[in-house]
Amino acid sequence: MIEQKLNNHEFATLTEVESYFKRMVSNAKEYYSRNSSTFEDAERVRKALSNHMTKVNPAYHRGDGYTAFPTPIPSELENAEEEAPETPEEAADDEEEEEEEDDAAADDDEEDDDRDADVEDDGKPQRSGRPSIILRRGSARKSAASSTPNATATPRSANRKGDDVYADIPYKECSFQEAQEKIVEELIRKTEDDSDEPQFEIFLNLPSRSLKDYYAHVSNPLSIKKLQKRVKGVQGRGNCTHVSEFKSWAAFEETASLIWTNAQFYNEEDSEYYAVAGEFKNFFLDQLKQAKKVVEEPPQPKIKLKVTNDQPISTSKKITIQLPPRGQAGGIQRGHFPVCPGHCG
């Protein structure tokens, strides 16, 4: 496709060429397993493209902080992806979700993340008739949900989509709700120092459910996307309420810490995952520190305890000791002593 467009002189700028290559790389990484040869080839293409384009693409030398992005998904392919037939297993899962979504919203959240993770399961197509450009169903669903926020909440993200709503907004201009959303966005947008690839991509979604050993050892798995849903108040397939579950900075930090503690608990200390988890922790705590300096958490509700006692309070019994009259001791008058029989002594 790219070669054909080049031969037909359909690209007006090198920026367009770079965007198409980045879309190709992005599709490959989303579709194939991280350990597959195709994924590794895509990473090599990405590095070669980045090294070359930063030298020859004039956009990088304008001084306006240009960053390349994958070309947008054509609308007809996006619709084809959403209408693609599901496997019987996926159809059964969707049917079960629809039946239980009213009383099992939390389970729906977890299943949405599972679908995202399954894209990187084993490099094999999950559906028949799948188009060449891949979309993650979870992302599409999230965008649709965020377009209809709760009318009672009006953060900036209520009227905008994507993960760059707060990119140019400092923490001091954010509400407590907006500051939480901004922190999660920063985690998603953070790129590696030598490239424009997401630095914490491995934590965006939960590991595939095929990793039985992981879920056997990690009791409370969490991903960045799942944290984002809880911050935005997404309940299952319902609308985005923009009301965070976390009413204090401490509660927010405690839950977010599961991302790095789970990774460091399950992986060896000399592994890449362990190292990236440490970088994630440092970056998160730095963002949290910046936010806490200028954004106050809402006042916490005071809990009043009223102690009631249905039983009457027992009073101690008074003990009265009767003393003999003055001058007597045990019935013996003072100054008189008993006489021993037989005049003993």
Structural domains of the chain ordered from first start: 1-63 (no CATH), 102-124+133-295 (1.20.920.10)
CA-CA distance, 34 to 117, in Å (whole number)?
A: 11
**In whole angstroms, what is the distance from residue 277 CA to residue 192 CA?**
14
Give me the pLDDT at residue 153, please.
46
| β-pair partners for 329 | 332
Strands 332-333 vs 328-329: parallel, antiparallel or unpaired = antiparallel
Query: Which is more confident, 337 or 49?
Result: 49
Give me 9's structure tokens: 């002189």
Which segment of 6-20, 240-254, 265-279 scores lowest on mean pLDDT? 6-20
Q: CA angle at residue 112 from 105 to 259, to 5 degrees?
A: 95
Mean pLDDT of 48-74: 79
Q: Which amino acid is at 108?
A: D
pLDDT confidence of residue 149: 37
Q: Is the pLDDT of residue 317 over 80?
A: no
Spatial distance between the Cα atoms of 284 and 300, rounded to a whole number of angstroms: 24
Within its chain, how far is the Cα of 283 from the centroid?
Answer: 14
Tokens encoding 172: 């001091």
User: What pLDDT does 238 receive?
Assistant: 74
User: By mean pLDDT, which of 32-41, 102-111, 225-234, 316-325 is the weakest?
Assistant: 102-111
CA distance 316 to 189: 71
* Closest listed residue to residue 105, CA positions, set 233, 254, 249, 200: 233
Least confident of 13-27, 146-160, 304-318: 146-160
Mean local confidence (pLDDT), 215-238: 92
**pTM surpassing 0.75?**
no
Per the prediction, the chain carries an average pLDDT of: 75
pLDDT score for 192: 86
- Cα separation of 240 and 142, whole Å? 8
| pLDDT score recorded for residue 325 | 67
233 and 155 Cβ atoms separated by less than 8 Å: no
Per the CB < 8 A criterion, the answer to whether 98 and 91 are in contact is: no
Q: What is the Cα–Cα distance from 129 to 14, expressed in whole angstroms?
A: 32
- Predicted confidence (pLDDT) at residue 201 exceeds the cutoff of 70: yes
Residue 130 has pLDDT above 80, yes or no: no
* pLDDT band, very low/low/confident/very high, at 65 (cuts 50, 70, 90): low
